[in-house]
Amino acid sequence: MKNLHPRNALIVLAVTLLLWTSCKKEISQDVPVESTQDFSTQVVAGVVPDDPAAVSKVRLIVSSTFLAQNPGFGEYSFDSKGKPIRNFDVTPPAVSITSPSNGSSVTGSISITVNATDNNKVTSVSLSIDGGATISSSSTAPFTNTWNSGSVANGTHTLKVTASDASGNKATSSIDVNVNNAAPGDVTLPTVNFISPTDQSSLTGTVNVSINAADNVGVSSVSISIDNIVVSNSSNYSWNTANYAAGNHTLNAIARDAAGNQASTSITVSINVVVVPPPTGNGISLVMPIPGQQGGEGSCVAWAVGYSARSAEQYYKTNASSYNNANNVFSPEFLYNQIKFSSDCGSGSSMQVALDFIAANGICSYQSMPYSGTNGCSLLPTTAQLTEALNYKIGTYSKIINTDKDAIKAMVSQNHPVIVAILADNSFVNAKAGFIWKTFSGSGNLPHAITICGYDDSKNAYKIMNSWGTTWGDEGFSWIDYDFFPTKAGTYCYVIN
């Protein structure tokens, strides 16, 4: 995303509804300071949308409750403009057999062709005979399966095809044909099964995919497919799962013999998906650093990721008793000045780029590089600051779907603040003590980055930490209703872990 022309980036920002922020920065001291400025009139868009392809590969944390409530759950996809689309697809495909025709007479090996359509995409069409197990499967249009009619006795037999889509919806179509072979040949189907990985396993990194195929005469060919794309024509394949989206994936193996007999088998695996149980408590409030003041620069991502979340991670990781600018409060100046979209101090930055940057380079302490408007946004860290930052890298980070309340709460209850982007209305911008954001005020749609640092079931709300100083909200904190939150938040939240 950093290579886009600024004008094009603004167009992308306008259509994604994902990652923006309002940011203001006054000429400040070397510590977070108060502000009495009017936030509703002095704002800067500060977040560049994350690259959808890169986001899809970030590990997904999902709650067991969410999975139970959404049996059709699938990984999110994106439209041509990068806008997220939820794949809670419950519409089955439509399928019909176009050849052979119902009641026709067949001999030898024949092709069973179909017409298969879906509101999203047909992923496979499988074939079975007389209600038995699947004997072949096709994953590419026009989804033609080959059947050796010599594998059954002469007479009437029922051919059934089953079309499946990516969400697991299925549809079937059947016809009867009259088999009339003069003399049977090799009618024994091969056998094929997965040695590794195992069905329903959770994978990460590079995985060895291995199959075993056998036949009474001899196997002539095998293939391994991932999500209906053939990746290997041998019995072993080295699969780099980092190149695939987090979520469920289907592996299919096919074995054929010289007589045209074919067998297939499929398994489902998940990549980088962590299922967490719901939290046991009904409320928690993390200990956070004092909310700072950003002023007029587009640095909200740096504050949410670097100052708020990273500082809290260090505080809890080291079992600290208090926050200290020298060792567990981190510099948004260090982060913003290196990840901002352009040289303009009103330029934004990407949440994922910020997280990737800290994973690779770390972040220095607030004491080493205070946030100061005096130096503007062009001040780059010294060798000493860069060296110190290496001590404060993060290991990994994950994403959470904004509607998965229990996953968000579970992460917070495990002392991990959740980083989010919202579109704040004027009621949020002007929040006072006791405010709970639960309805749209009717005006304002201000992009902004914040962190969730607590929750309270009695309020039905998440506690959030802002970066507009301690005069905003309740000393820099406020609340967002559980149910209202997804309407104003980006599709994914992020969490350091």
> pLDDT tens-digit profile of 269-304?
888 777 788 888 899 999 999 999 888 888 999 999
Structural domain includes residue 1: no
Count structural domains, the chain: 3
- Contact (Cβ atoms closer than 8 angstroms) between residue 144 and residue 111: yes
Considering the domain architecture, whether residues 353 and 471 belong to the same structural domain is answered as: yes
Read off the pLDDT of each residue in 235-244 and give the average, rounded to a whole number.
88
pLDDT grade, residue 43 (50/70/90)?
very low
Burial class of residue 153 (count of CB atoms within 10 Å of its CB; 0-12, 13-18, 19+)? exposed
How much is the pLDDT for 115? 93
**Beta carbons within 10 angstroms of residue 35's beta carbon:** 21
Residue ending a domain, choose from 271, 295, 320: 271
Q: Please give the Cα distance from 138 to 146 (Å, whole number).
A: 9
Considering the domain architecture, whether residues 175 and 193 belong to the same structural domain is answered as: no
Q: Which of 32-46, 239-253, 318-332 has the highest mean pLDDT?
A: 318-332
Residue 138: pLDDT above 90? no
- Domain of residue 287 covers 6-82+280-496
Considering the domain architecture, whether residues 145 and 252 belong to the same structural domain is answered as: no
Considering the domain architecture, whether residues 341 and 464 belong to the same structural domain is answered as: yes
Between 32 and 394, the more confident residue is: 394
Q: Please give the Cα distance from 113 to 411 (Å, whole number).
A: 49
Q: What CATH number has the domain bearing residue 190?
A: 2.60.40.10
Q: Please give the Cα distance from 281 to 401 (Å, whole number).
A: 21
How much is the pLDDT for 49? 82
Residue ending a domain, choose from 221, 247, 271: 271
Considering the domain architecture, whether residues 335 and 457 belong to the same structural domain is answered as: yes
How much is the pLDDT for 10? 33
Residue ending a domain, choose from 168, 185, 202: 185
Q: Which residue has the tokens 């072993």?
A: 236
pLDDT grade, residue 42 (50/70/90)?
very low
Share of the chain above pLDDT 70, in %: 85
pLDDT grade, residue 53 (50/70/90)?
confident
- Give pLDDT tens digits for 361-388: 999 999 999 997 666 788 899 999 999 9
Considering the domain architecture, whether residues 423 and 285 belong to the same structural domain is answered as: yes
Residue 128: pLDDT above 70? yes
Structural domain includes residue 78: yes
